[in-house]
Structure 1
């Protein structure tokens, strides 16, 4: 896969934070996690960027003005229904959270922020967006009921461990795209993946998943030498 195609597949995030230091911290952290990040200094600049460009996720800080932030959120959610919005705020009250959700927020975090938690929420929100609100994922003979967390092969339920289920779902959501071993490990184990000495655990999960998908469907998962794995489309 070309670097240009890889770039197109990366998630694009717009970050608007009242505190410049916080904005820089969020920007650098998410950029290091392989997201394409852009920053807006205020709501006006955020509005201008949203008018010109599409983003997978927008992080809005309501600390400077809740009213302006809510208006921007409500307005932009109508124009960019496919974009996700995470709100960060100094206010942790339930009423404030409910108001934000009613205006279209996908998640809400009260300060102080922990960047690892923010990243986990970013991944969860983007994952829900990829599902487009559907509770069923289908790939060839494989069907996943994401609500019940049950996998079907040829309409027959198969038994997978939690890691195998998460691995298969991640591969299907990124079908046709090469996923590095490091990226898969980070998805399955989060920040704890940095503590792993090697990727033997991943080889085990891939092999077990292939066996459970039987000899026909197991061919969907291709090993890309020196890189990782890909769920082939054809």
Structure 2
């Protein structure tokens, strides 16, 4: 699960990012309008935390960009501006929630979880595919009601697969979704291959019915039989 934090105040940005990373999200940051605009155009996110007042532009303009691009990211506006007009403008442009500064990190984390769950899991706390049940909030996985322990990257990879069932996924898209800004640390596609190989082995040994298949020269596809 990947989140973009758009906030120009360095200390607040770092605190938010560290808090979300503790929740095991992949977090990317943007400190100004230009950086945020490039990221929004180039990448997809599960949730965007967006400040309105930014160096180089206005956060509401970024909301307009998202609308034009027809992207489905959940957006939570965080702003020191508490006027009704600003809230209405943000919500009318497609924001899902509005949080006024100062706020408690626990409240922000709770709202992020709510947005992601509503957007990707139809409001449910778990994801069920055949005999596989995944609880993203708890970072747990069950096969035939028996828990299967995965490391963090294996879990992140599986989450991406189960939210994109029966879809062909390029290795590059998979790496960017799971590693985000730290993609260079993945040491090319060999690391991805190793992680997916381990994940497939664990799932097979546990008797999982959904199967991750390698598509030569392209990437992977999770096969879920009807």
Q: Normalized against structure 2, the TM-score is what?
A: 0.59
The count of aligned residue pairs is: 181
Deviation of 1:222 (Å): 1.5
Give unmatched runs, 5+ long, in structure 1.
1-14, 16-21, 108-120
1:110 corresponds in structure 2 to none
Summarize the Cα distance change of 1:70–1:176 in structure 2 as closer, same or farther, 3 Å threshold. same
Summarize the Cα distance change of 1:204–1:43 in structure 2 as closer, same or farther, 3 Å threshold. closer
Q: Answer yes or no: is the 8 Å Cα contact 1:221–1:230 preserved in 2.
A: yes
Q: Answer yes or no: is the 8 Å Cα contact 2:74–2:96 preserved in 1.
A: yes
Deviation of 1:140 (Å): 1.1
Aligned-pair Cα RMSD in Å: 4.4
Aligned match for 2:86, one of 58, 61, 69: 69
> Secondary structure at 2:127's aligned position in 1?
strand
2:188 maps to 1:176: no
Q: Partners in 2 of 1:133 and 1:150 — Cα distance? A: 18
Q: Answer yes or no: is the 8 Å Cα contact 2:169–2:220 preserved in 1.
A: yes
Give unmatched runs, 5+ long, in structure 2.
1-5, 7-31, 46-56
Aligned match for 1:217, one of 203, 208, 211: 208
2:182 corresponds in structure 1 to 192
Q: Answer yes or no: is the 8 Å Cα contact 1:60–1:69 preserved in 2.
A: no
Moved over 3 A (4+): 22-25, 40-44, 53-66, 83-87, 124-128, 215-219
Q: Which has the higher contact order (CA 8 A, sep 6+)?
A: 2
> Secondary structure at 2:208's aligned position in 1?
helix
Summarize the Cα distance change of 1:146–1:84 in structure 2 as closer, same or farther, 3 Å threshold. same
Deviation of 1:86 (Å): 6.6
